[in-house]
Amino acid sequence: MLTAFARAFRTPDLRSKIFFTLGIIALYRLGAFVPAPGVSYGAIQECLALVEDSSVYGLVNLFSGGALLQLSVFALGIMPYITASIIIQLLVVVIPRLEALKEEGQSGQAKLTQYTRYLTIVLAVLQSTGIVALGRGAPSNLFPTCPQAIIPDESIFRVLTIVAVMTAGTAMIMWFGELVTAKGVGNGMSILIFASIVATLPAQVLNLLQAASTVVAVGLALLALVVVVAVIYVEQAQRRIPVQYAKRMIGRRAYGGTSTYIPLKVNQAGIIPVIFASSLLYLPSLVQQVAEPGGAVDTFVTNYLSPGNPAYVVGYFLLILFFTYFYVAITFNPVEVADNMKKYGGFVPGIRPGRPTAEYLDHILSRITLVGALYLGAVAVLPLLALSLTGDQQFPFGGTAVLIIVGVGLETVKQIESQLMLRNYEGFLR
């Protein structure tokens, strides 16, 4: 791998792509520390010193690299785009017009991308308005234990300015991601999420070492190594369904007769089920923020839906199982795959084309999806289990963070290797 990176930096055009990607990441991280106009930077830092993190906004703060709680220009991070992409993917299944656009190929995909951008801006306006509303007052709902006013001037003009700047920041992040995809290395949005999470790791590791004893720290380090290795192994795992294409005579020439396979990944759904489950479990905590202190809602959420509570852990795990099956069901259609194979003369050896092939694929997919769902659930609840050992819920090597870091890292390395293959044929000559 180190040799591949050395060859990448020796290749001029690939080197320029890597430096371009690093430059975009630097601008992205710079915007995460530039406060929005009208936000008191000193008050924000004092409040952050009192409150390390908030379980209510943990996922968004993770994806923004800590920018959310600082109310910076890039406070919303990439989360509005992720939410918009998920919503568009779900609507494609239920709205025939969008499904027709998806089947049109590149032009239809460009139209869906445009819809995703529009929806991202709408969600950014809503989310920035909500964040500003939570940040008003002293103490604010964003920092309930901090007496400082993080937005000193609460006039309508100032609030609208903050909302406009945060929305523009989200649009700029979206543009950064598209620039990296077009002119850099890897998927732009994934790279920006990767950078946000990696940026918070050193502080989380330091807090973990300060809070835990030496024995616990060593044990958690070994657990982190095991988790990373297991995630790499499962992310690479796939079930290959063999496919044989029959020969066809066109004139005097025979076409087809090739053998290939359908790669069914064990983790077919990726990180989406974890995001869905986390977002759904944040709703009760958001309701608790506006509920009466000590009331029925506040007591119920505190007793049963707080992180580390057994009911919360079990509910989180079951929601991940449900959303994994749900997302795989809407993104992979065995009937459509079987029909396409039959149309081009393909068949699974030992299985008749058409409906029997679709049932066979559905059976295989159900079995490997169970393994993938259990894997996602186990990795996602690791930080909650580590909470009982360390007393710190920011366990840096489990859950959403490690899934994204490993997944994006593997995909980026694969893309760099494929770029090297286009320019260096040494591997074919050996």
Report the range of poorest mean pLDDT among 14-28, 54-68, 161-175, 348-362. Answer: 54-68
pLDDT confidence tier of residue 55, bands split at 50, 70 and 90: very low
Is residue 121 pLDDT above 90, yes or no?
yes
**Checking phi first, is residue 296 left (phi over 0); if not, alpha (psi -120 to 50) or beta?**
alpha
pLDDT at residue 307, as a whole number: 67
What percent of the chain lies above the pLDDT cut of 70? Answer: 79
The residue with greater pLDDT, 28 or 301, is 28
Residue 176 binned pLDDT confidence (cut-offs 50, 70, 90): very high
DSSP bridge partners of 238: 265
- pLDDT score recorded for residue 393: 45
Residues 185, 18: contact at Cβ < 8 Å? yes
Average pLDDT over residues 338-346: 84
pLDDT at 199: 81
The model's confidence at residue 118, banded by pLDDT at 50, 70 and 90, is: very high
Q: Which of 40, 17, 109, 25 shows the shortest CA–CA distance to 74?
A: 25
Return the pLDDT at 171.
92
- Taking the C-alpha atoms of residue 352 and residue 342, their distance in angstroms, rounded to an integer, is 10
Poorest-pLDDT segment among 285-294, 305-314, 322-331, 366-375? 285-294
Residue 219 pLDDT exceeds 80: no
Q: What percent of the chain has pLDDT over 90?
A: 7
* pLDDT for 194 beyond 80: yes
Tens of pLDDT, residue by residue over 90-103, are 788 788 888 888 87
Mean pLDDT across the chain: 79
What pLDDT is recorded for position 24? Answer: 92
Q: Are the CB atoms for 166 and 73 separated by under 8 Å?
A: yes
Helix (H) or strand (E) run with residue 263 in it: strand 259-265
Across the range 346-368, mean pLDDT stands at 88
Burial of residue 118, with CB atoms counted within 10 A of its CB: 0-12 exposed, 13-18 middle, 19 or more buried: exposed
Of residues 148 and 398, the one with the higher pLDDT is: 148
On the question of pLDDT at 392 being above 60, the answer is no
Place 251 in a pLDDT band, splitting at 50, 70 and 90.
low
Q: What is the mean pLDDT of residues 158-168?
A: 89
Q: Confidence class of residue 380 from pLDDT cuts 50, 70 and 90? A: confident
Question: Can you give the pLDDT at residue 430?
Answer: 45
- What does the longest C-alpha to C-alpha distance in the chain come to? 85
CB atoms inside a 10 Å sphere around CB 83: 18
Partners of 240 in beta bridges: 263
CA angle at 412 for the pair 409 and 413, rounded to the nearest 5°: 85
